[in-house]
Amino acid sequence: MLFYELIDILGTIAFTISGVLIAMEKRLDLFGVVIIAFVTAIGGGTLRDLLIGNVPVVWMRDLTYVITILSTVVFAIVFVNQLKYFRKSLFLFDTIGIGLYTMVGIEKGLQAELQPIICIALGTITASFGGVIRDILCNEIPVIFRKEIYATACIVGGAFYFLLLQFPIQEAYAYSAGILVVITIRLLAVKLGIRLPNIYKEKST
């Protein structure tokens, strides 16, 4: 159980840093930075818990999440210049976050004894909707609603996890592989410029 809790905390840290970076790019005040960090980190998990009736939602029952978010906010603000040395650091932490949170959401669905396809949907919601709320509050069109490969990576990674479970391997290895598949697909999609098909006709000039 410690393994899954560690993954959850790592996802919280990654998404918190992602939220801090975008809030500071928008030059929000300290309260704004904290709020954006919170909704990025726990927005998807909150929606997931409400959907499966897991109330009060997990961060209200376990203050570890609140403490982790606040501590990470302080860390990210203090070391923001160092974090910016990483190329495209916002993208990096967001990508790590969706990989980790996809599998956290799937695990919550399995604990609720839901079907695999619903578990994958919960994983995608957990991974994506904190970022959706963050982008809306920051007056951006959410990445999930654009042509970029985002939610698709979550779905493929989740499906790969359930595929691996059909073979005689340890569940922790399948879990880790699911995370890596999500992260890899997202990284490759951006690096190679792979996008979902455009359903709109280009305007002629």
Q: Which tokens go with 164?
A: 């691996």
Q: Does 171 map to a domain?
A: yes
How many domains in the chain? 1
Q: Does 202 map to a domain?
A: no
Q: Residue ranges of the chain with pLDDT lower than 70?
A: 1, 84-90, 147, 199-205
Q: Which amino acid is at 91?
A: F
Phi and psi, residue 25, nearest 5°: -60, -35
Q: Which candidate, 140, 186, 147, places its Cα nearest to that of 23?
A: 140
Q: Does 19 map to a domain?
A: yes
pTM for the full model? 0.86
Cα-trace Rg, the chain: 17
Q: Does 197 map to a domain?
A: no
Check residue 88 and give its pLDDT. 60
Q: Which tokens go with 155?
A: 């779905």
Q: Does 167 map to a domain?
A: yes
Q: Does residue 94 contact residue 186 with C-beta atoms inside 8 Å?
A: no
Q: Does residue 150 contact residue 125 with C-beta atoms inside 8 Å?
A: no
Q: Does 204 map to a domain?
A: no
The mean pLDDT value of the chain amounts to 89
Check residue 84 and give its pLDDT. 65
Check residue 156 and give its pLDDT. 96
Check residue 53 and give its pLDDT. 94
Q: Does 99 map to a domain?
A: yes
**What is the residue range of 34's domain?**
2-192
Q: Does residue 154 contact residue 184 with C-beta atoms inside 8 Å?
A: no
